[in-house]
C-alpha cells in the first residue's frame, strides 16, 4: 500500500493523464504546452515544467507546444525568446512545428472580447487603477460594483473599439469581465481583461493599443491549441475558476483541464526571473550564463549534462506541496551521469615542481593509462613520464600528521598510472621559506607492480612539465549563503545573501597535454579534483579555461 502511495505521490499528473487516456477522454489524445513569458532566461524551475510538459506528451504519444506568453511587451525581448528556444532544445526537447506566440492569437482574442461584451459578460470600466483597487474589497470584505458596470452593450462595444483605435490615454479605461464583486475568490471580482498600453510589441509591432491580460489570454490560447492538460504551478489554483469561466462563456474550440503542481525551489538558488534579472543587471554575476547561476544557460556553460537535469526532474517528482529541494540531489544527478561518461585525466591545479633525480635527463616514457576504471570501452591514452613533473601543492606537507597518505620528506607514494617515488629533499625559497621544489627518486621496478613489504602511502596525480598545458581553472561554490534566498524578508536585500567566495580562479594550472585537443563540449574527471568542462565562452586554443562542474563528493552537506 505504502508503495502505491509513493508512486502516485511521485507524479500525480502522470496518473491523471493515464486515467484520462484509459477513459478515452479527449479521444485519448494528450496535448500539453510549455508557456514561458519571454521576460528573462529559463532556470531550473522551468526545467521542471519543461520536463513535465514535454515528458508527459512524449510518454502518452501526444504533442507539446512551446508557446511564448507574450502579453507584456514592456518586459519582453527577442533576445529572451531566442535564448529560451536554445535552452529547451539543449535540455533535449523538440517542439517540431509547434512554436507559438500568444500574440499571434491577438486577433482571435479581440474577437472573443467583443463576444463577451455582446453577451453582457464584459464592460469598459473608467475608474482609475487606484479606485479599482479600492472597489475590489478585501479577503474579509466584499467588493463594490463600479458605477460603470451597467454601461449598455452598445456603449461598451463603442468604447472598447475606441480604446483599440487609440482614442484614449493609457490607463484611462480597462475592459473587465462581469462576474461577481462579492465573490470570496478575489480573482472573480470582475477581473481586468484588457488594458491600454502604447507599446511596440516585439512580434506585432504597433498594431495593438490594447493588450489582453494573462488570465484572459492563457486559457484561450490553450483552447486554440487543443491543449488537453494545462499544467501550471500552484499559485494559479485560485485562478482556475476564472480560467474555466472564460472558456465557458465563449465558443472556444475545447475546454482544457488546468492542473496545478508545486513549484520547484532549490536550496541556495533563486528561481525567479525578476530577481535573476537584477543580479545580471547589477553585475553581481557575469551574465545570464554565469556558471554559478541555475539558469539553463548557466548550467550549460558550467558543464551540467542535460540528461542529469532531466534525471533530476524525474527524481524530485511532481506533487501538490511546495517544498525546497536540497542541492545535493541535483549535484548527485550530475555526478551520477558524469561518473559513467566522463573520461579520466590528470590536472594539477596548484603546481609544485618535482624533480626525479635518478631519472635520466634526456629520457621520456610513454605510459598507458585507462580512461575509465570500470569501462574498458573508453580505451586508454598515452601519458608522458619524464624527469621533471608537477604535483599538487596540497599533496605535500613537511610535517605530516599521523596516517598521512600523501607525500612528505622520506615517505613514498605512487604516482597515478606510473612509478613509486620517494621524497629525498625539499628546496625552499630562502627568503619566504616557501617550498619551491621537491627532489625525489623513483623505483624503476614499480611500474604496475606493487613493491613487496614496503609501505606506500597514497596515490597522487601528476603531469610532466614539458608535456602538459597551462590552463585557468574556475572553481564554484554556492552563489547564495542562505538556504532559501527566494523568501523575501522585509528590510533584507537579496544581494546581502550573496556568497563572496562563490568563485575561485586558479591560474597556471597544468593539465595533461591531451586536453589541448579535446572536442568542444566534452567533460572530464580530473582525478581526485572533480568533473570539469572547457568553458565554451572564455576558453581559447592557447588560453584554456576549465570550469569545475562539480566536486567528486558532496561537500555541501558537511559545511
CA distance 467 to 513: 6
**Cross-strand pairs, 453:** none
User: Which of ligand ATP, Mg ion, none does residue 355 bind (CB under 5 to 8 Å by kind)?
Assistant: none
- Which of 30, 175, 160, 35 is CA-nearest to residue 105? 35
Q: What is the spatial distance between Cα 488 and Cα 492, in angstroms, rounded to a whole number?
A: 8
Residue of 37, 155, 161, 314 marked active site: 37
Q: In angstroms, what is the minimal distance from the CB of 520 to Mg ion?
A: 34
Given a contact cutoff of 8 angstroms between Cβ atoms, the answer to whether 453 and 468 are in contact is no
Closer CB to Mg ion, 37 or 332, in the complex: 37
**CA geometry: angle at 278 spanning 273 and 279, to 5°?**
95
Provide the minimum distance between the beta carbon of 69 and Mg ion in the complex, in angstroms, as a whole number: 7
131 counts as catalytic: no
Minimum CB distance to ligand ATP, residue 286 (Å):
20
Rounded to whole angstroms, the Cα distance separating 180 from 146 reads 11
Annotated catalytic residue, options 75, 144, 149, 263: 263
Residue 233 contact, options ligand ATP, Mg ion, none, Cβ 5-8 Å cut-off depending on partner type: ligand ATP
Nearest one of 419, 416, 441, 438 to 427, comparing CA atoms: 438
Q: Is 37 annotated as catalytic?
A: yes
Q: Are the CB atoms for 125 and 176 separated by under 8 Å?
A: yes
Q: Which does 365 bind (CB under 5 to 8 A by kind): Mg ion, ligand ATP, none?
A: none
Question: At closest approach, how far in Å is the CB of 41 from ligand ATP?
Answer: 9
Exposed/middle/buried for residue 272 (C-beta within 10 Å: 0-12, 13-18, 19+): middle
Q: Helix or strand or coil: residue 555?
A: coil
Contact of residue 35 among Mg ion, ligand ATP, none (CB under 5-8 Å per partner type): ligand ATP
Residue 437 near which of ligand ATP, Mg ion, none (CB within 5-8 Å, type-dependent): none
Q: Determine which residue in the list 16, 29, 37, 307 makes contact with Mg ion, applying CB under 5 A.
A: 37
In the complex with ligand ATP, which residue's Cβ is closer, 48 or 528? 48
Concerning whether 450 is annotated as a catalytic residue, the answer is no
Stretch that binds Mg ion, among 30-38, 289-297, 357-365, 540-548 (CB under 5 A): 30-38
DSSP calls for 316-327: H-B-SS-EEE-H
In this structure, the dihedral spanned by the alpha carbons of residues 493, 495, 499 and 504, taken in order and rounded to 10 degrees, is -170
Least Cβ distance, residue 202 to ligand ATP (angstroms): 15
Query: CB nearest ligand ATP: which residue?
Result: 45
Helix (H, G, I), strand (E, B) or coil at 415: strand
Looking at the Cβ atoms of 294 and 387, the one nearer to ligand ATP is: 294
- Comparing C-alpha atoms, which of 265, 277, 262 is closest to residue 494? 277
Q: Which does 36 bind (CB under 5 to 8 A by kind): Mg ion, ligand ATP, none?
A: ligand ATP
Query: Which of 48, 63, 151, 273 is an active site residue?
Result: 273
Binding site for ligand ATP (CB under 6 A): 35-37, 45-46, 48-49, 232-233, 263-264, 271-274
Give the orientation angle of helix 306-316 with respect to helix 78-91, to 10 degrees.
Answer: 80
Pick between residue 37 and residue 424 the one whose CB is nearest to ligand ATP. 37
By annotation, the residues acting in catalysis are 37, 263, 273
User: Which residues of the shown chain bind Mg ion in the complex (CB under 5 A)?
Assistant: 37
Amino acid at each position: 500500500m505504502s508503495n502505491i502511495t509513493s508512486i502516485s505521490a511521485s507524479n500525480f499528473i502522470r496518473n491523471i493523464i493515464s486515467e484520462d487516456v484509459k477513459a478515452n477522454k479527449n479521444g485519448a489524445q494528450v496535448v500539453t504546452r510549455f508557456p514561458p513569458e519571454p521576460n528573462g532566461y529559463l532556470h531550473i524551475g522551468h526545467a521542471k515544467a519543461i520536463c513535465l510538459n514535454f515528458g508527459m506528451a512524449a510518454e502518452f504519444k501526444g504533442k507539446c507546444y512551446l508557446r511564448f506568453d507574450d502579453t507584456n511587451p514592456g518586459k519582453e525581448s527577442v533576445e529572451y525568446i531566442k535564448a529560451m528556444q536554445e535552452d529547451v532544445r539543449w535540455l533535449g526537447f523538440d517542439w517540431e512545428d509547434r512554436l507559438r506566440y500568444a500574440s499571434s492569437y491577438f486577433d482571435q482574442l479581440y474577437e472573443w472580447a467583443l463576444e463577451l461584451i455582446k453577451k453582457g459578460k464584459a464592460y469598459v470600466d473608467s475608474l482609475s487603477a487606484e479606485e479599482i483597487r479600492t472597489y475590489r474589497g478585501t479577503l474579509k470584505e466584499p467588493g463594490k460594483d463600479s458605477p460603470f458596470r451597467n454601461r449598455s452593450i452598445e456603449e461598451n462595444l463603442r468604447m472598447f473599439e475606441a480604446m483599440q483605435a487609440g482614442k484614449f490615454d493609457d490607463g484611462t479605461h480597462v475592459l473587465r469581465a462581469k462576474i461577481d464583486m462579492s465573490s470570496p475568490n478575489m480573482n472573480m471580482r470582475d477581473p481586468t481583461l484588457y488594458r491600454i498600453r502604447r507599446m511596440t510589441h516585439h512580434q506585432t509591432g504597433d498594431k495593438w493599443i490594447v493588450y489582453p491580460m494573462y488570465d484572459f489570454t492563457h486559457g484561450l490560447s490553450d483552447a486554440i491549441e487543443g491543449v488537453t492538460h494545462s499544467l501550471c504551478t500552484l499559485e494559479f489554483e485560485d485562478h482556475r475558476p476564472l480560467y474555466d469561466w472564460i472558456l465557458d462563456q465563449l465558443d472556444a474550440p475545447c475546454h482544457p483541464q488546468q492542473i496545478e503542481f508545486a513549484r520547484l525551489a532549490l536550496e541556495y538558488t533563486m528561481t525567479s526571473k525578476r530577481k535573476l534579472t537584477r543580479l545580471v543587471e547589477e553585475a553581481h554575476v557575469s551574465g545570464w550564463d554565469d556558471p554559478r547561476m541555475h539558469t539553463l544557460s548557466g548550467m550549460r556553460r558550467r558543464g551540467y549534462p542535460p540528461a542529469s537535469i532531466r534525471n533530476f526532474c524525474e527524481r524530485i517528482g511532481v506533487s501538490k506541496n511546495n517544498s525546497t529541494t536540497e542541492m545535493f540531489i541535483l549535484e548527485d544527478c550530475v555526478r551520477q551521469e558524469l561518473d559513467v561518461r566522463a573520461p579520466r585525466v590528470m590536472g594539477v591545479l596548484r603546481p609544485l615542481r618535482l624533480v626525479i633525480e635518478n631519472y635520466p635527463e634526456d629520457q621520456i616514457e610513454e605510459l598507458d593509462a585507462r580512461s575509465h576504471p570500470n569501462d574498458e570501452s573508453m580505451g586508454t591514452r598515452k601519458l608522458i613520464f619524464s624527469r621533471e613533473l608537477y604535483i599538487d601543492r596540497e599533496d605535500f606537507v613537511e610535517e605530516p600528521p599521523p596516517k598521512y597518505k600523501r607525500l612528505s620528506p622520506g615517505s613514498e607514494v605512487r604516482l597515478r598510472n606510473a612509478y613509486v617515488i620517494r621524497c629525498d629533499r625539499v628546496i625552499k625559497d630562502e627568503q619566504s621559506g616557501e617550498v619551491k621544489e621537491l627532489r625525489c627518486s623513483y623505483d624503476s621496478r614499480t611500474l604496475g607492480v606493487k613493491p613487496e613489504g614496503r609501505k606506500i602511502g597514497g596515490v597522487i596525480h601528476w603531469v610532466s612539465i614539458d608535456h602538459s598545458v597551462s590552463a585557468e581553472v574556475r572553481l564554484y561554490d554556492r552563489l547564495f549563503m542562505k538556504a532559501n534566498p527566494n523568501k523575501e524578508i522585509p528590510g533584507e536585500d537579496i544581494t546581502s545573501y550573496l556568497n563572496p567566495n562563490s568563485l575561485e580562479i586558479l591560474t597556471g594550472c597544468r593539465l595533461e597535454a591531451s586536453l589541448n585537443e579535446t572536442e568542444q563540449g566534452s567533460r572530464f574527471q580530473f582525478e581526485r579534483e572533480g568533473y570539469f568542462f572547457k568553458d565554451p565562452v572564455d576558453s581559447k586554443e592557447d588560453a584554456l579555461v576549465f570550469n569545475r562542474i562539480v566536486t567528486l563528493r558532496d561537500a555541501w552537506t558537511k559545511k
